[in-house]
Amino acid sequence: MRLFHNISWISRHVNRRFCSFSSRSFLGRTFLDVHQPVRHALERGNPVVALESTIITHGMPYPDNVNTALEVEDIIREEGVVPATIGVLDGHIRVGLQPDEIDKLGRLGEEAKKIARRDLAVATSQKLSGGTTVSATMIAAHLSGIDVFVTGGIGGVHRGAEITMDISSDLTELGKTPVAVVCGGVKSLLDIRLTLEYLETQGVTVATLGETTEFPAFFTPQSGMKSDCQVRSPQECAKLIFNNFELGLNSGLVVAVPIPHNSAAYGVEEVIQDGLDEVNRLQVTGSEVTPFLLDFVNRRTKGQSLVANIALVKNNARVGALIAKELSFLKHQFAITHSQMVPTKLTKSNLSSKSSFTVGNTVKRPVVIGASVVDFVATAESEVLHEGTTCGKVTQSYGGVGRNVAECLARLDAKPLLITAVGRDFVGESLLHHWTEDVRADAQGITTLNDYNTATYSGMFHGTGDLHAAVGDMTINDTITTSMVSKYEKDMKAASLVCMDGNIPPATVRYVADFCATHNVPVWFEPTCIMKAKRPVEAGDSWQKLTYISPNFSELQSFCSAIGMRHISDSDKLRTSVIYSHQLLDFIPYILVTLGSDGVLVCRNSLLSGRSYLHFPPATSDLLPVDVINVSGAGDSFAGVMMSCLIRGLSLPTAIKGGLKAAFMSLHTTSAVSRDIRPEEFTEASINSWAPFSPDDVSTFVD
């Protein structure tokens, strides 16, 4: 059974008046043709390395150019990384050229257009073919979501630029496009000193990967110039790149990798000087200067410079692949810490494996802050009388959104800390007994108060199931204050996640959101009802610090209205939810909208893959319980079990299905949370056997 359906229509129906697109331009991507292996790697957050194609068209003669390009790709694959050679064929920007396409560009050679930033619009509109320079490759890589780009050497400031103003667009691109460029430095036929000065002006960090800060001169390891900093390993380099991106500097980096000494072409400087004299004599200008000089130097050195060039590119490819792997690891680690909520300390050996509940010998348990309520439900067997007694059935159950979520987590052995308050009355004693004896959970965070009643809800329903009247005594929830919650700061700081429901006061919401943001703990807000969905907005900018929210459609509307979004009048709940969520994703990375008979919409803004939207249709009738007995805890069960799945490292689709399974279980019991929610029912295999699907069935629209 397919639990997803294709919602690519969102790209047509999300009105741009309502939406602010992410920094990676959605419109720009319409000109990209991303090869399937590259696309799959990017969607899964696996490492990808971009490669330019002017080295194929203008950097080397045929067939050395094609052979080198293919060998470089193989080197990257040997490191477990996906190569993505970028070029333009017949007006299409190809990300991940195929071998026959590389050969086509290689045969064209200098007949192909040399495509920099200024040429992309021309090439795409006039259906041209050509090799992309560093600047154009950076643009295509960034639009595709590729962060690491390997090349031979970057362009720079040409000698005599104080007269000619001949400065490569590579340098300005590095100043405004956040891609890390791994290279052998700047070719010594350029003015290296002025190039480094210009990069400083553009705000571009230049780092040498090695034992010194010596900036390489392409054919040789030394130029006599210094980089801004030194990184000693691919791990250090990846951390530098990651921090540059996370700071939002919107600039690239130059990672200069010195050519190995045994591959260097020493003595080439004199030949370059002769070549520059030829450039002046023949009046070679603009983008033709570098290929002319490379060809001149290659002929004069009898191929020594070409051999060095090839060795340098291959070495850069290996190093770039290692950096990309380390960067991918860091991004996974960040995403898990801040969004996916996996509580284990991540290591490279278990990056793709399932996680347990422990770090070392310490249990990282979730913290839930919210209401505990005892529900009394009266169901009339006949017409409700306005005077006198109506015969019917009265049942008691234990509820409260926070308590329900915590019970799900406890029944699945997540050992939650529930921070809540109850009165010192028989109702409170009953609730505590149920919590410790039936649920078998820790009551450490439950405060008992003398002067308050335990929260209760009393509802009377017609025999048809329609609500006739209800009374709620929820005053005690106002006592879940900052002072009460702050006693458990140590537990919150060490938590795998903190969940709070909408019953707690706005000041407490603000405190929890600020605390979790400070300590990088994911925080989940469960809105509870239409009015209480506004609590994070009432708490100032606290709503912008949430990691997850799980509203129903009405609660989503209430939340968006509170932050000043324009009301959307549209009968299509799914489309409306997407439009609302698209704007919220700038601040809240995960939005889970329960749509009742329309299923569940998952909206996410992932560090790894940008915005995406998944729609889970409602279950088929064969999965639904025969009789719906109690709907009060279905949504809470959905959220609680989903949290448990994410904490254990299960995928988001599996977590959603686990939540749906728990909701259906709770629908046909008198309890808010089904007692059948047990660990063996919510293993990955059990969840998927309940609602089997293939990953190939999943279809998403990614902004």
User: pLDDT tens digits, residue range 35-62?
Assistant: 988 987 887 778 999 999 998 998 788 9
* pLDDT-wise least confident of 160-164, 280-284, 326-330, 654-658: 160-164
E strands within 373-513? 373-380, 392-399, 417-423, 446-449, 455-461, 467-473, 498-501
Query: How far is residue 534's CA from residue 402's CA, in Å, rounded to a whole number?
Result: 17
For the record, the structure tokens of 630 come out as 């109690």
Domain 35-264 classified CATH 3.40.640.10?
A: no
The string of pLDDT tens digits covering residues 564-596 is 888 887 788 888 998 899 889 888 989 999 887
Mean pLDDT score across all residues of the chain: 82
Assign 531 a pLDDT band (cuts: 50, 70, 90).
Answer: very high
Asked if pLDDT for residue 667 goes beyond 90, the answer is no
| Three-state SS at 125 | helix
Cβ contacts of 290 within 8 Å, gap of 6 or more: 58, 155, 187, 189
Place of tokens 């080397």: 60
Q: Which residues of the chain does CATH 3.40.1190.20 include? A: 349-549+619-693
pLDDT (0 to 100) of residue 363 = 43
| Three-state SS at 49 | strand
DSSP string, 200-259: HHTT-EEEEESSS-EEPBSSSS--SEE-SEEE-SHHHHHHHHHHHHHTT----EEEE-PP
For the record, the structure tokens of 280 come out as 């002046």
Pinpoint the alpha helices (H) of 336-461: 401-411, 426-433
pLDDT (0 to 100) of residue 173 = 95
The string of pLDDT tens digits covering residues 402-426 is 999 999 999 999 999 999 999 999 9
Asked if pLDDT for residue 124 goes beyond 90, the answer is yes
Task: Look at 646 and 284; give whichever has higher pLDDT.
Answer: 646
The string of pLDDT tens digits covering residues 214-257 is 999 888 888 889 999 999 999 999 999 999 988 888 899 999 99
* pLDDT-wise least confident of 429-433, 483-487, 522-526, 693-697: 693-697
pLDDT (0 to 100) of residue 340 = 39
| Three-state SS at 76 | helix
Annotated active-site residue in 52, 73, 173, 407: 52
pLDDT (0 to 100) of residue 598 = 78
Average pLDDT over residues 607-617: 70
C-alpha angle 484-489-493 in degrees, rounded to nearest 5: 150
Annotated active-site residue in 104, 187, 364, 534: 187
Assign 609 a pLDDT band (cuts: 50, 70, 90).
Answer: low
Average pLDDT over residues 147-159: 88
| Three-state SS at 501 | strand
Query: How far is residue 78's CA from residue 95's CA, in Å, rounded to a whole number?
Result: 20
Q: Which residues of the chain does CATH 3.40.1790.10 include? A: 35-264
DSSP 157: B
In our burial notation (b when 16+ CB lie closer than 10 A, e otherwise), range 348-383 reads eeeeeeebebeeeeeebbbbbbbbbbbbbbbbbeee
Query: How far is residue 563's CA from residue 568's CA, in Å, rounded to a whole number?
Result: 14
pLDDT (0 to 100) of residue 264 = 81
* pLDDT-wise least confident of 72-76, 162-166, 542-546: 162-166
CB 512 within 8 A of CB 540: no
pLDDT (0 to 100) of residue 319 = 96
* pLDDT-wise least confident of 113-117, 162-166, 471-475: 162-166
Query: Is 52 among the catalytic positions?
Result: yes
Cβ contacts of 195 within 8 Å, gap of 6 or more: 156, 157, 171, 186
Cβ contacts of 696 within 8 Å, gap of 6 or more: none
* pLDDT-wise least confident of 164-168, 225-229, 455-459: 164-168
Average pLDDT over residues 475-497: 95
Cβ contacts of 667 within 8 Å, gap of 6 or more: 624, 625, 628, 629, 630, 631, 634
Average pLDDT over residues 611-616: 80
CATH code for the structural domain at 349-549+619-693? 3.40.1190.20
Query: Is 314 among the catalytic positions?
Result: no
Asked if pLDDT for residue 14 goes beyond 50, the answer is no
* pLDDT-wise least confident of 3-17, 512-526, 646-660: 3-17
pLDDT (0 to 100) of residue 694 = 46
Assign 614 a pLDDT band (cuts: 50, 70, 90).
Answer: confident
Asked if pLDDT for residue 349 goes beyond 60, the answer is no
Query: How far is residue 590's CA from residue 623's CA, in Å, rounded to a whole number?
Result: 27
Asked if pLDDT for residue 143 goes beyond 70, the answer is yes
Query: How far is residue 141's CA from residue 672's CA, in Å, rounded to a whole number?
Result: 50
Task: Look at 274 and 99; give whichever has higher pLDDT.
Answer: 99
The string of pLDDT tens digits covering residues 384-399 is 666 678 788 888 889 9
Q: Which helix (H) or strand (E) holds 34?
A: strand 32-34
CB 22 within 8 A of CB 703: yes
Assign 633 a pLDDT band (cuts: 50, 70, 90).
Answer: confident
* pLDDT-wise least confident of 183-187, 413-417, 453-457, 499-503: 183-187
For the record, the structure tokens of 275 come out as 């070549």
The string of pLDDT tens digits covering residues 290-344 is 678 777 877 777 767 778 888 999 999 999 999 999 998 887 666 544 433 333 3
Task: Look at 158 and 634; give whichever has higher pLDDT.
Answer: 634
